[in-house]
Structure 1
């Protein structure tokens, strides 16, 4: 019993010393971390989400935003992006049927205007 209490005490003391060391290391690295974050572009922190809803009629620009490809992407890139996004947002796996329709609409619009 006494051995268990001593072991627990030593474990807590070791964790406290390790935590103190980590905090001191972070304190010394703070200026470099701030400099790195300031050098990153602002878009790195925006989350990459498009603020706004869908247009009444999908445009090529909106289709590109939905698909995550360039408006001038070739058919192969459009199909790969469509497959990836569809797998992530499929209604059978908890995705929205409305979003699935918009993904398919974007693929059809871009695919119809893309070069081989």
Structure 2
């Protein structure tokens, strides 16, 4: 007899809980959609820090510094450090592009040659 009463109370609690959840769903969906609208646009943010354009015909200081991600007036030590960091990610032996690796090498050579 006690088991039947406990089972009935348990089913009633589950029923009331389900009823409460179903009544709150439209409000929760509205709140969720408003929160999603307020989030920043990650796709635009992800692409905004990258240079939009191709390579110049001839390497120059501006392009070399953009490739290595350093200031155009960086010293040789910073050039070397940036080269190692960028090349570690883009090396052809690690799945990088041989063309990009050649441009990274060209940027390093240019900056080392034209830096005091």
Q: Which of structures 1 and 2 has the bigger CA Rg? A: 2
* Contiguous gaps of at least 5 residues in structure 1: 1-5, 38-42
CA RMSD between the two structures: 3.6
Equivalent residues, number: 97
Structure 1 residues 72 and 51 mapped into 2: Cα distance closer, same or farther (>3 Å)?
same
Deviations 1:48-98 (A, max 9, x none): 222221112101111011110011001111111100100000000111111
Q: Could you tell me which runs of 5 or more consecutive residues in structure 2 were left unpaired when the two chains were aligned.
A: 1-10
1:4-83 pair list within 5 angstroms? 24=31, 27=34, 33=38, 44=45, 46-83=47-84
Give the 3 Å change call, closer, same or farther, for CA 45–92 of structure 1 in structure 2. closer
* TM-score normalised per structure 2: 0.62
TM-score (norm 1): 0.62
Where has structure 1 moved over 2 Å in runs of 4 or more? Answer: 20-27, 43-47
